[in-house]
Amino acid sequence: MELFVATGNAHKLVELGAALPGHTLKMPSDAGVADFEVDEDGSTYAENALKKARSLFDLVGAPSLADDSGLSVRALGGRPGVLSARYGAEPGPDGRLVVLGAPARNARLLGEMAGVSDRACAFVCCLVLVLAEDRIFSVQETCPGELLEAPRGEGGFGYDPIIYLPELGKSVAELSAEEKNRVSHRGKACARMAALLGSLGRDS
């Protein structure tokens, strides 16, 4: 199936493509939609993912897939959560939010967690697929782990270097692509979405 993905993040498209073999994933720009952007003002991952998928579907008129993901830290009451990508952002001189790069964001989170013994956390990913105005499917998965004291690993992106997976003895940034697709929140959500897409192919 050809799916338009509600993202401008090339890293995310690569991960989704690897986890959804047999499907052609395209960016909004491939349909002539420049600078696709949606105000992610939902209070949950599902709300944000649905809003993005619906918005893209309305623009391209074709099956649209969106994800919303983030990091939930237990000691911080679930923060940064749906605000993970904007964690630590502050208004600039023009009043618009200045978003931190991943290293600065990670450093800020580790600083906030300095001296905290409870390091439990989890990545969360919600995927929403809009096939038609009233035909919508959603899956949500997690990847539990522990917050490190300092970054480890050169792979991945975002918070990956500061999340440790005890069962593998590695940070997410130290995983191979195959390992990450198997255990990550996005990989597990994609596996469920792939199974769902397979069943839709048999039913349609």
Residues with a catalytic annotation lie at 68
3-state secondary structure of 13: helix
As a whole number of angstroms, the distance between CA 125 and CA 186 comes to 5
Query: Which residues are within 8 A (CB) of 11 and not within 5 positions of it... i.e. 6 or more apart?
Result: 157
Q: 72 pairs with which residues across the strands?
A: 80, 122
Length of the chain equals 204
Angle (CA) 142 191 32, round 5°? 100
Token digits of residue 20: 């959804």
Q: What are phi and psi of 163, to 5 degrees?
A: -115, 125
Angle (CA) 121 174 69, round 5°? 40
